[in-house]
C-alpha cells in the first residue's frame, strides 16, 4: 500500500507535466519509467543517464531530501496502521507487522527497479539493493515502535551488562536532546545563510530561472525541483558555516575562507546563490557565528536540573551531546551529497566525514565549559542578609540560649525569603504579590488614676469558737452479691448453621 501510493503520486505528477509539455521527448511509457526512477531516487538510489553529449554514462546521485519524506511517511504510516488494533481485534506481534510490511515494500521496490531499467534514466541495481531496504527498515521500525506506544524497555540480554546498565542513566537522554538541538540550530543557520545569499544574488537567480525554459509547465517543474532541494541547501549552508564547506566538482571547494577555481556548473537558480570565486571577505567570515550558537545551545541543554549531579557528569553529558551532533551532521551531509555527472561533476556536495568532525569539534570546545558554567550558576549557594556570626536564639548581647542548637543560622540568612521571591517571579501571575498588612500606629493610653481602698472596721467577739466541726463516721456498705447471666431459652449447639427464612411466594 505504501509503495503503491508513493509510485502513484509520482506517476500522476510526471504524467501531468508530460501532458502540459508542448514538446515531449517520449510517450506515456517513458513518463511512467521516469516516475519509477524518481521513486527509487527518493530512497537514495543512484540513477544513470546514458544520453549525454560525450557519450559517457553520467550518474545522478544527489537525492532531493524533501522527496525522501514521501516514502518515509507512507511506510511509517503503513506500519503504524498494521500495528494498531481495535478492542475486538487480536493484537499482532511487532515482529509480524514489521516483517509483513517490509516484505511487501521490498517486493514492490524490486519490481520498480526492473521496470525503471527500460526508461531514460534507469537505476543502478547495486545502489537500489541496499538503499531501498535501508529506508524501508528504518521507516517500518519507527512506525511499529510508534504503534506500540514508543516503549523504552530494557535492552536485549545479549548485550553486556555494563552497556545495559549504562544506557539506563539519564545522561544519554540529555545528550540526545542536546545533540539534536545543536544539529537543528546548525540547519537553521544554514537556511539563514542560503536565504541571505538568494536575496543578495536575486537578479542572477531570476535570470537563471527565466532562461531555463519559456513555458509555464517547464518553469513549474524547475520550481518543484528547487523546492525539493531546499533541505539539501540547508545542509550545504551548515557545512559551509562549519568550515569544511562543500565540493563543486573535482578540485573546487567553497569555504568561508574563499573558493579557488572555476566550477563547471549547470544553470540552476539555487546554484546562482553560491559565493563568488576568490578569497573570503568579512561577510563570509561571519558565517562562523552559526556553529558558535550551536555549541552554546548544546552546552545549555546538557545541564540536568538536579543539585546532586557533579561537574564531571555535566561535562560528560555535554561531550556526548557533541558526539550526537557530529553524527547527525555527518549523516545529513552524506545524504545530501552525490555525483551529478562524470569527471568534473563526480564530486558534488559536502564531505560527510569532514562535516561531522567539524560539528563535533565546534560543539565540544564550546559546550563543555558552557555546561559546567551553567551548572555552577544554577546551583550556586544563595546569599542572604546575614548580620554577623550570631547563632540562632542569641540575644542582643550575643549569648546563646542552651535550648537552641547552634549551626542553624540558615534560618536567618534570608534563604527562604529569597527562594520564595524567585518562585513568585518565575510563576508570573499565578502567585500574586501579597502586600504586608498595614500596622496601625500605637495609640497612647492615659494612665488610670490610683483608686484608694477604704479600710473596714473589724469587730472582735469574745468566746466564739471558729475551729473545725467533727464529722460523724459513715456506716460501711454491705457488698452486693454477683448476678448470674441470663440462661437462654434455647441451648446453644456447636456447629449449627443458621439459614435465613425465606418469604413464601405471594
pLDDT score, position 413: 46
Per residue of the chain (506 residues), what is the pLDDT tens digit? 788 899 999 999 999 988 888 777 778 888 899 999 999 999 999 999 887 777 788 888 899 999 999 999 999 988 888 766 655 566 678 788 888 889 999 999 999 999 998 888 899 999 999 999 999 999 998 888 888 777 766 666 777 777 667 666 778 888 999 999 999 999 999 999 999 999 999 999 999 898 888 888 888 989 999 999 999 999 999 999 999 999 888 778 889 988 876 677 878 899 888 888 888 888 889 999 999 999 999 999 998 776 667 888 889 999 999 999 999 999 999 999 998 887 778 888 899 999 999 999 999 999 999 999 998 888 776 555 544 444 444 444 444 444 444 444 444 445 566 667 777 777 766 666 666 566 666 666 666 655 555 555 555 555 555 555 555 555 555 555 555 555 555 555 555 555 555 555 55
The pLDDT value recorded for residue 475 is 58
Q: Are 242 and 287 in contact (CB under 8 A)?
A: no
3-state SS class at 201: coil
pLDDT for residue 312: 87
Specify the pLDDT at position 55: 74
Beta bridge pairs of residue 48: 59
Distance CA 362, CA 293 (A): 10
Q: What is the DSSP string of 362-373?
A: HHHHHHHHHHHH
Which pLDDT value is given to residue 401?
43
308 phi and psi angles, rounded to 5 deg? -80, -5
Q: How far apart are CA 377 and CA 361, in angstroms?
A: 25
Q: In what order do the strands lie in the sheet with 348-349?
A: 278-279, 258-259, 253-255, 246-248, 348-349
How many CA atoms lie within 13 Å of 454's alpha carbon, on the beta-carbon side? 2
**How far is residue 210's CA from residue 127's CA, in Å, rounded to a whole number?**
35
Distances (CA, A) of 423 to 377, 419, 420, 428, 432: 17, 6, 5, 9, 11
Please give the Cα distance from 218 to 221 (Å, whole number): 5
Residue 212 has what pLDDT? Answer: 86
Pair type for strands 258-259 and 47-49: unpaired
State whether residue 77 is helix, strand or coil: helix
CA distance 223 to 423: 52
- Cβ contact 370:296 at 8 Å: yes
Question: How many of the other CB atoms lie within 10 Å of CB of 73?
Answer: 15
Q: If you count them, how many residues does the chain have?
A: 506
pLDDT on residue 185? 96
Calpha distance 72→139 (Å, rounded): 5
The DSSP bridge partners found for residue 49 are: 58
Which pLDDT value is given to residue 329?
A: 96
Contact 232, 62 (CB under 8 A): yes
Task: Supply 22's cell numbers.
Answer: 508542448
Check residue 474 and give its pLDDT. Answer: 55
Amino acid at each position: 500500500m505504501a509503495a503503491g501510493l508513493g509510485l502513484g503520486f509520482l506517476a500522476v505528477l510526471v504524467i501531468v507535466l508530460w501532458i502540459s509539455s508542448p514538446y515531449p521527448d517520449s510517450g506515456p511509457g517513458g513518463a511512467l519509467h521516469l516516475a519509477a526512477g524518481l521513486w527509487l531516487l527518493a530512497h537514495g538510489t543512484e540513477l544513470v543517464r546514458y544520453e549525454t553529449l560525450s557519450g559517457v554514462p553520467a550518474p545522478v546521485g544527489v537525492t532531493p531530501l524533501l522527496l525522501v519524506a514521501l516514502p518515509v511517511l507512507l511506510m511509517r504510516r503503513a506500519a503504524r496502521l498494521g500495528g494498531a488494533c481495535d478492542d475486538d481485534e487480536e493484537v499482532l506481534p511487532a515482529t509480524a507487522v514489521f516483517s509483513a510490511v517490509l516484505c511487501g515494500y521490498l517486493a514492490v521496490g524490486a519490481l520498480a527497479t526492473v521496470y525503471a531499467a527500460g526508461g531514460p534514466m534507469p537505476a543502478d541495481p547495486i545502489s537500489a539493493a541496499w538503499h531501498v531496504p535501508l529506508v524501508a527498515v528504518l521507516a517500518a521500525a519507527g512506525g511499529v515502535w510508534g504503534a506500540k506506544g514508543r516503549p523504552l524497555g530494557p535492552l536485549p540480554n545479549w548485550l553486556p551488562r555494563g552497556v545495559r546498565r549504562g544506557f539506563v542513566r539519564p545522561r544519554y537522554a540529555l545528550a540526545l536532546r542536546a545533540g539534536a538541538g545543536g544539529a537543528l540550530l546548525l540547519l537553521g543557520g544554514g537556511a539563514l545563510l542560503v536565504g541571505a545569499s538568494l536575496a543578495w544574488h536575486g537578479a542572477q537567480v531570476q535570470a537563471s530561472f527565466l532562461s531555463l525554459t519559456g513555458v509555464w509547465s517547464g518553469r513549474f517543474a524547475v520550481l518543484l525541483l528547487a523546492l525539493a532541494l531546499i533541505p539539501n541547501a540547508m545542509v550545504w549552508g551548515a557545512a559551509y558555516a562549519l568550515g569544511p564547506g562543500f565540493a563543486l566538482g573535482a578540485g573546487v571547494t567553497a569555504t568561508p575562507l574563499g573558493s579557488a577555481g572555476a566550477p563547471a556548473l549547470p544553470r540552476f537558480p539555487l546554484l546562482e546563490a553560491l559565493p563568488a570565486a576568490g578569497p573570503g571577505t568579512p561577510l563570509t567570515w561571519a558565517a562562523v557565528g552559526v556553529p558558535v550558537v550551536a555549541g552554546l545551545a548544546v552546552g545549555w541543554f546538557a545541564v540536568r536540573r538536579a543539585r546532586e549531579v557533579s561537574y564531571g557528569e555535566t561535562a560528560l553529558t555535554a561531550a556526548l551531546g557533541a558526539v550526537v551532533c557530529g553524527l547527525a551532521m555527518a549523516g545529513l551531509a552524506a545524504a545530501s551529497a552525490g555525483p551529478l555527472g562524470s569527471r568534473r561533476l563526480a564530486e558534488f556536495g559536502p564531505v560527510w566525514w569532514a562535516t561531522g568532525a567539524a560539528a563535533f569539534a565546534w560543539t565540544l570546545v564550546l559546550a563543555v565549559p558552557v555546561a559546567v558554567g551553567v551548572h555552577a550558576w544554577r546551583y550556586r549557594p544563595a546569599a542572604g542578609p546575614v548580620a554577623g556570626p550570631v547563632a540562632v536564639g542569641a540575644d542582643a548581647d550575643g549569648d546563646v540560649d542552651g535550648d537552641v542548637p547552634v549551626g542553624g543560622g540558615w534560618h536567618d540568612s534570608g534563604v527562604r525569603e529569597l527562594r520564595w521571591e524567585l518562585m513568585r517571579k518565575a510563576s508570573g501571575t499565578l502567585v500574586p504579590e501579597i502586600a504586608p498588612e498595614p500596622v496601625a500606629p500605637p495609640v497612647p493610653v492615659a494612665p488610670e488614676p490610683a483608686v484608694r481602698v477604704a479600710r473596714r472596721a473589724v469587730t472582735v467577739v469574745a468566746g466564739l469558737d471558729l475551729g473545725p466541726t467533727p464529722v460523724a463516721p459513715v456506716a460501711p456498705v454491705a457488698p452486693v452479691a454477683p448476678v448470674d447471666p441470663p440462661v437462654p431459652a434455647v441451648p446453644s449447639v456447636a456447629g449449627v448453621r443458621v439459614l435465613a427464612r425465606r418469604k413464601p411466594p405471594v
